[in-house]
Homo-oligomer: A and B are copies of this chain.
Amino acid sequence: MKKLLVLALAAPALAFAQPNSPSQPGISGQAAALRDAALRDDHVAWDVLEGLTTEVGQRMAGTEAEARGRAWALRKLTELGFSNVHVEPFEMDVWVRGEERAEIISPFPQSMAVTALGNSGATPAPGIEAEVIGFDSVAALEAASDESVRGKIVFVTHAMAPAQDGSGYGPFGAPRRQGPSLASRKGAAAIVIRSIGTDHHRNPHTGVQSWAAGVRPIPAGALSIPDAEQLQRMLDRGRTVRMRLVLTPRNTGRHPSGNIVAEVPGSDPSAGIVIVGGHLDSWDLGTGAVDNGAGVAITTAAAHRIMQAGRPRRTIRVVLFGAEEVGGLGGEAHFQGNRAAGNVVLVGESDFGADRVWRVNMNLAPANAALGDRVTALLAPLGIVRGRDPANAGADLGPWAQAGTAAIDLNQDGTRYFDYHHTPDDTLDKVDPSQLRQNVAAWTAMLAAVADAPEAIAPVEVAP
């Protein structure tokens, strides 16, 4: 507990209202009481997060570390009293990191911090050495002649800045998502990008990228942001910059992965199932505290609170997905294996860290407007506002939302999320216990309202 206090003091000063459950018209006193109790005590959420990140550490998809994560979660969810706790197995192709080094050979010899992007090709063991050609965007790379790029190491930078809703990740993520295939098509020897992130530490950000059809994999890495800025300063001097790059990842073939499923059984099987969860796998550089031990801990703790309070009307299923980072494999496997049952009425994933929830977005049918209003009223005392964007249910539950299942997103403040995302710095100390409690309170309130809603929860019309 001493550690908790230290962390709380070190974290940004944030005080959440401690509502004392004045009755609110139309909403359940029990849901409000559960919410307020969660705000005062985070022991399940912290225990899950601290345990998973300490006792398992990184949980790279398809590796034995992820398997240890599944064994850990199976044991923990069973201990916590969930029902029907089991593994939902699947197989996957696995890519693992090797040696990683980048060195400026001339004109200013020095080493740089680099990490391979997912599915990167490999250099020979001693590395490759080539001239660096820099671009300030994927569009600029696209516009360059093949001739100018051929045989060189392409460098692509960007100008991502922190944003509360994390909206920079889409447009500024292009160097990672499209850069490697584009560089390969143009005959580049390799590509290094400015890490897709918003910090200024020497910790590069990895992340998945997929080779476009027919494209030959080339070595593809991310420089830490200070190193990318250093390289840009060198290029700005107009001198020829030569780099030696060593990246020796490899594909290890097919290996088992899987989801962990646990349930809080409902009293009314005809009322349908609510699925919540996060993903169990992480990138291999940190211990996956923010991405996504936090989501695992928050949704597990919220479902546990509902369970402790008595049997809800609807079954709550907690799914801890495998292999999200490398392409949402676990989410897709769960959707394909369970959609035919036709009994899932609402979904929601937590996969954006554990800073305070500031907004709720909902995809609800018009017939469920009153439910939406009750959820909004329950969340308001936590400082959460209603947004009007569509809920997307995260990478793992997105397939359900896209197929017309109702969905609710509780949006965390993402201002510092991309400081740690996919880096060695994604560790337990980045989670603020007071904000973690607010997350659990928000998820508990939402789950209480949804699981016990007396009305039917209807599917949502999907745009054709």
Mark A residues whose CB is within 8 Å of B.
Answer: 3, 10, 50, 53-58, 65, 68, 107-110, 113, 200-203, 225-226, 229-230, 233-234, 286-287, 423-425, 427-430
Residue of B nearest to A53 (CB): B230
Partner of A286, one of B202, B233, B423, B430: B202
Instruction: Judge whether A427 and B108 touch: CB under 8 Å.
Output: no
A202 to B200, CA, bound (A): 13
**A113 vs chain B, min Cβ distance (A):** 7
Residue of B nearest to A224 (CB): B424
Instruction: Judge whether B56 and A287 touch: CB under 8 Å.
Output: no
Instruction: Judge whether B233 and A429 touch: CB under 8 Å.
Output: no
Instruction: Judge whether A57 and B229 touch: CB under 8 Å.
Output: no
Instruction: Judge whether A428 and B226 touch: CB under 8 Å.
Output: yes
Partner of A234, one of B54, B229, B428: B54
Residue of B nearest to A226 (CB): B427
A110 to B72, CA, bound (A): 15
**A164 vs chain B, min Cβ distance (A):** 17
Instruction: Judge whether A287 and B428 touch: CB under 8 Å.
Output: no
The 10 nearest A-B residue pairs measured at CB = A57-B110, A202-B424, A226-B427, A200-B429, A54-B233, A55-B108, A201-B201, A202-B425, A226-B429, A201-B425
Instruction: Judge whether B203 and A233 touch: CB under 8 Å.
Output: no
Please state the number of chain copies in the assembly. 2
Contact of A428 with B55 at beta-carbon distance under 8 Å, contacts A201-B201, A203-B203 already known: no
Residue of B nearest to A108 (CB): B55
Residue of B nearest to A50 (CB): B233
Partner of A201, one of B53, B203, B428: B203
Residues in B with CB closer than 8 Å to A3 are: 229, 233
Contact of A58 with B428 at beta-carbon distance under 8 Å, contacts A50-B233, A202-B203, A203-B203 already known: no
A56 to B104, CA, bound (A): 11
**A405 vs chain B, min Cβ distance (A):** 37
Instruction: Judge whether B108 and A54 touch: CB under 8 Å.
Output: yes
Contact of A230 with B425 at beta-carbon distance under 8 Å, contacts A108-B57, A201-B203 already known: no
Residues in B with CB closer than 8 Å to A202 are: 203, 286, 423-425, 427
Partner of A57, one of B65, B68, B109, B423: B109
Contact of A427 with B230 at beta-carbon distance under 8 Å, contacts A108-B54, A109-B57, A202-B203 already known: yes
Which has the most chain B C-beta neighbours within 10 Å: A55, A65, A68, A225? A55
Residue of B nearest to A426 (CB): B202
Residues in B with CB closer than 8 Å to A230 are: 53-54, 57, 287, 427-428
